[in-house]
Structure 1
Amino acid sequence: MIGVRVVQKVSSTRGFAKLAPYVVPALDRAVHRLTRGKVLLSAQMLPGVVLTATGARSGLPRRTPLACMPEPAGRTWILVGSNFGRTGHPAWTANLLAHPDAEISWKGTDVPVTAHLLTGEERAAVWKELLAFWPPYATYQARVERGIRVFRLVPRGG
Structure 2
Amino acid sequence: MTFSDVTASAGAWVLENGHRALLAVTGGRFPKKLLGMETIELHTIGRKSGQRRSSMLTAPIFEADRIVVIASKGGHSEHPDWYKNLVANPDVEVTFGESTTPWSARTADAQEKADLWLTAVKINPGYDGYQRKTDRDIPVVILTPRT
Identity %: 26
Equivalent position of 1:7 in the other structure: none
Report SS of the residue matched to 1:148: coil
Q: Structure 1 154/40 Cα, relative in aligned 2: closer, same or farther at 3 Å?
A: farther
Task: Output the amino acid matched with 2:143.
Answer: L
| Pairs within 5 Å for 1:43-122 | 43-45=33-35, 46-71=37-62, 73-122=63-112
Q: What is the CA distance between 1:123 and its match in structure 2?
A: 1.1
Task: Output the amino acid matched with 2:97.
Answer: K
TM-score by length of 1: 0.80
Cα distance between partner residues in 1 of 2:92 and 2:29: 20
Structure 1 unaligned regions, length at least 5: 1-13
Report SS of the residue matched to 2:93: strand
Structure 2 unaligned regions, length at least 5: none
Higher strand proportion, which one?
A: 2
Q: 1:128 aligns with which of 115, 118, 121?
A: 118
What are the Cα deviations for residues 101-131 of structure 1, in whole angstroms up to 9, with x where unaligned? 0101112211210001101111111111111
Cα distance between partner residues in 1 of 2:7 and 2:64: 30
Cα distance between partner residues in 2 of 1:108 and 1:50: 11
TM-score by length of 2: 0.85
- Count of aligned positions: 142
Task: Output the amino acid matched with 2:84.
Answer: A
Q: 2:11 aligns with which of 15, 20, 26?
A: 20
Aligned Cα RMSD in Å?
A: 2.1
What are the Cα deviations for residues 67-121 of structure 1, in whole angstroms up to 9, with x where unaligned? 11234x4331101000011111110000010010010111221121000110111
